[in-house]
Structure 1
Amino acid sequence: MSYLEYAVKSTPTGWRKILHLNWPVALLLASVSGAGFLMLYSVAGGSFTPWAEPQMKRFALGFVLMIMVAMVPIWFWRSLSGVAYLGALILLIAVELFGTVGMGAQRWIDLGFMRLQPSELMKITLVMLLAAYYDWLPARKTSRPFWVLLPVLIILVPVALVLKQPDLGTSILLLAAGGGLMFLAGVHWAYFAAVIASGIGLISAVFQSRGTPWQLLKDYQYRRIDTFLDPSTDPLGAGYHITQSKIALGSGGWTGRGFMQGTQSRLNFLPEKHTDFIFTTLAEEFGFMGALSLLGLYALIIIFCVSSALMNKDRFASLLTLGIALNFFLFFAVNMSMVMGLAPVVGVPLPLVSYGGSAMLVLLLAFGLMQSAHVHRPR
């Protein structure tokens, strides 16, 4: 009996698949989204419009789509990984040609009923293709230079397209997720050590070149670096966002000011309070304990995903699940670091909490793939 025949016979059929879903992950996703609805209700001044109600509808649609994706065998999604990646790549090119401009960036395609952000799709299709690639590639070839170069090109092409939009945050996430999956697939650590050493050398050269004839960055770019390192140098300009964010974080204390009692968000001191900086609203209203509780929910989702991946005997399904968990981790880690001043402000939303249609729907579709891998794993 072949492996595929064994996998087909050993997985549940029909409505029994519902029972085999990873329900802890599904309930945790609903819990995190529920926290997001509360925050969107709060920042709107106690109203479901204009943010909470559309977000709730998107979550309901996304949750149904997650279940539908989970019902489809994982080997079907494996066969579509190349097509899905090429489709996302074509959409990124379409954005460059006739995309919609918003907040100084060209990142969306207007579909009428919603604005699609293809870079969100690329986060998932990139993981799918890399997982399929390393499932196909014999283990002995994983670290050979030629077979390392191919996935590097698969990663760098969409990264370059996203950087042109410009969207530094998403390009960093694509690069980190792709590199992380290569490491998980078994690529030798020496490649990553070389990349890290080169990055450190480049950063050092950037700082040392300042004020010299061979200066590597423009003067305004150095001023942005100065503002990140010390926002007080431009508190009403480039440092305004992070300064107000830190004030909101600090004013929450241990237990917070109370639901809908956050002064920074209520008085509109906090910019982008319903998207990128919504974590600071939560921290101000529910304090350190509320922020820690949200972080705990995120951590549990990661733990259940990693546990599912480790139990899965199918290499593609295991790598796909780990890749989705890694993507999810990078999402909230970068956002939280950004609003706390530990990383530059790069425009990365807080997963399932920040307002946004494309990000929520694509993320739930990704967890649908994770659920498909869990339901259809050989037993």
Structure 2
Amino acid sequence: MQHNSFNSQSTFFQKIKNFDYILLICILLLGLISSLSMYSTDGGEILFHSKSHVSKFLIFFTMLIFMSLVNIRFWHSFAYLFYTIILLLLIWASLYGIKASGSQRWINLYFINLQPSELMKIAIIVCLAKYYHRIQLNKVNSFQVMFVALVILILPIMLVIAQPDLGTSILIALSGLVVIWLAGINIKYFIYSFITLLILMPFAIAFLKPYQKLRILTFLDPDRDPLGAGYQIIQSKIAVGSGGLSGKGFLKGTQSYLEFLPEKHTDFIFTLFAEEHGFIGSLGLLLIYIIIIYRVLKIGAISRSYFSKLFCYGYGSAIFFYVVVNMSMVLGLLPIVGSPLPIMSYGGSSMLATMIGFAIVMSAKINHKQLIA
């Protein structure tokens, strides 16, 4: 008994030793920067947003540590069930969810308003990574294999579009398509799909909600309605530009403090950060994200199991998409699609999903020598 106890203890310490500490430090750094930014959005006081954000970060970061100790084989076994549960939650949200700002995408769990579409960003990568884990490379381009993969991908996208949440559905689509591409699907299918999409785009616009059409028109010309639809993006550009090289300083962002910038604690948190810390601060934040993406891809590269490789490469690419879409959106390079900046933006569901993703990556690192049958 004593020998077994010692063995499990040494295994536990071995797992702790195998953590990617550079990745953990970067996540903690983002947590600290986001907490200070949230404190700034509350006007330099510890109010609702800063309290809620800090408590959620600490709870979910602790959860990340404990979930990392779970063997990667568990995530492989649980993949389809995880996807199915989130799919059912999406259906539940569409039928009985909380309505806010014209969308029905949240489930009230009392301690958190859960947005299942955020968790689907992770579930789609896990599910497709398991699906392609056992499929031989010469069968990847067969009709049957591609059809099943597309069904797995399209089901949640249709449910999320119906909520309506076009931005999240695009990010789910990108996350899933990256895994399908990494699995070895022929590039010609992507080219055909892209050409078809371009042809269908004028017809697809007809099915968009009025506010979604307005966002596209605002993106093309924000000055057409500077006090209405174009207000947010115009103020965002002014705030980022006024930050200059070194920023106005912590708690000194005038656009934010004079309430020129609405929704600054959620999707537009980067605007507040850029105004206060300028180009140099923004580069520093970008560098942290680059290191995180590099570490996630590196873990994928050293993993022996194909499932771990596909998940890490897929999740690393997904973080890249989240960061690029959010920053491009607040700089006016893309239409406003409601995409949070990982860890930085306020929102419990987004934070929870991001931490689950990192927990699976960390589990892949700890068990990188393991093969999954």
Normalized against structure 1, the TM-score is what? 0.92
- Contiguous gaps of at least 5 residues in structure 2: 1-9
1:71 corresponds in structure 2 to: 69
Q: Does 1:306 align with 2:335?
A: no
| CA shift digits 1:318-343 (9 cap, x unpaired) | 11111211221111111101101111
Pair 1:197–1:40, CA change in 2 (3 A): same
Give 1:295's match in structure 2, choosing from 257, 265, 286. 286
Match of 2:343 in 1: 352
SS in 1 for 2:107: strand
Distance 1:225 1:121 in 2: 26
The change in CA–CA distance for 1:298 and 1:218 in structure 2 (over 3 A counts) is closer
Tell me, in whole angstroms, the C-alpha distance in 1 between the residues paired with 2:71 and 2:209.
51
Judged with a 3 Å threshold, the aligned counterparts in structure 2 of structure 1 residues 47 and 218 are, in CA distance, closer, same or farther, namely closer
Superposed CA RMSD: 1.8
Match of 1:180 among 178, 181, 199: 178
Post-superposition offset of 1:225: 3.0
Task: Write the distance in 2 (CA, Å) between the matches of 1:58 and 1:111.
Answer: 15
1:103 to 82, 88, 101: 101
Q: Are 1:105 and 1:165, in contact at CA under 8 Å, matched by a contact in 2?
A: yes
Alignment deviations for residues 356-377 of structure 1 (CA, whole Å, 9 cap, x no partner)? 1111122111100000011011
Matched, 1:47 2:45: yes
TM-superposed deviation, 1:349? 1.0
* CA distance in structure 1 between the aligned counterparts of 2:31 and 2:63, rounded to whole angstroms: 15
Number of the residue aligned with 1:227: 218
CA distance in 1, matches of 2:364, 2:306: 10
Q: Which range moves more in the overlay, 193-202 or 110-119?
A: 193-202
SS of 1:15 mapped into structure 2: helix
* Greater Cα offset, 85-94 or 57-66: 57-66
Shift of 1:15: 2.2
What SS does the corresponding residue of 2:105 show, helix, strand or coil?
A: strand
- 3-state DSSP class of the match of 1:352? coil
Secondary structure of the structure 1 residue equivalent to 2:328: helix
CA apart distance, 1:46? 0.8
- State the match for 2:86 in structure 1: 88
* CA distance, structure 1, for counterparts of residue 107 and residue 68 of structure 2: 27
Q: Which residue of 2 aligns with 1:155?
A: 153
- Local SS of the residue matching 1:107: strand
The CA deviation at 1:217 is 7.0
Residue identity matched to 2:264: K
Q: Distance in 2 between matches of 1:184 and 1:223?
A: 35
- After superposition, where does 1:1-379 map in structure 2 within 5 Å? 13-203=11-201, 205=202, 224-378=215-369
What is the CA-CA distance between 1:219 and the residue it aligns to?
8.2
- Identity across aligned pairs (percent)? 42
Q: Distance in 2 between matches of 1:336 and 1:219?
A: 24
Amino acid at match of 2:292: I
What SS class does the counterpart of residue 226 from structure 2 fall into?
coil
Contact 2:297–2:316 (CA under 8 A) maintained in structure 1: yes
One-letter amino acid of the counterpart of residue 230, structure 2:
G
**2: distance between equivalents of 1:247 and 1:14?**
51
C-alpha change, 1:107 and 1:221, in structure 2 (3 Å) is closer
Aligned counterparts of 1:219 and 1:282: Cα–Cα separation in 2: 31
d(CA) in 2 for partners of 1:359, 1:230: 30
Per-residue deviation, 1:97: 1.3
Residue 250 of structure 1 aligns with an amino acid whose one-letter code is G
CA deviation after TM superposition for structure 1 residue 138, in Å: 1.4
Deviation of the 1:182 alpha carbon: 0.6
Structure-2 separation of matches of 1:93 and 1:71: 31
Structure with more relative contact order (C-alpha pairs < 8 Å, separation 6 or more): 1
Q: SS at 2:48's partner residue?
A: coil
Check whether the contact 1:206–1:217 (CA below 8 A) recurs between aligned residues. Answer: no
Runs of 4+ in structure 1 deviating by more than 6 angstroms, as ranges, are 215-221
Task: After superposition, give the CA deviation of every residue in 1:1-51 in whole Å (9 maximum; x if it has no partner).
Answer: xxxxxxxxxxx8222201101111111011111110111111111112111
SS at match of 1:270: coil
1:245-301 C-alpha deviation (Å, 9 max, x unpaired): 001011000001111110110000001011111100000000011111111100110
- The farther-off stretch of 170-179 and 53-62 is 53-62
Residues 254, 41 of structure 1: alpha-carbon distance in 2 compared, 3 angstrom cutoff: same
Q: CA deviation at 1:60?
A: 1.2
- C-alpha separation in 2, matches of 1:217 and 1:187: 30
Inter-partner Cα distance in structure 1 for 2:225 and 2:162: 27
Aligned pair in 2 of structure 1 residues 275, 221: CA closer, same or farther (>3 Å)? Answer: closer
One-letter code of the match for 1:79? S
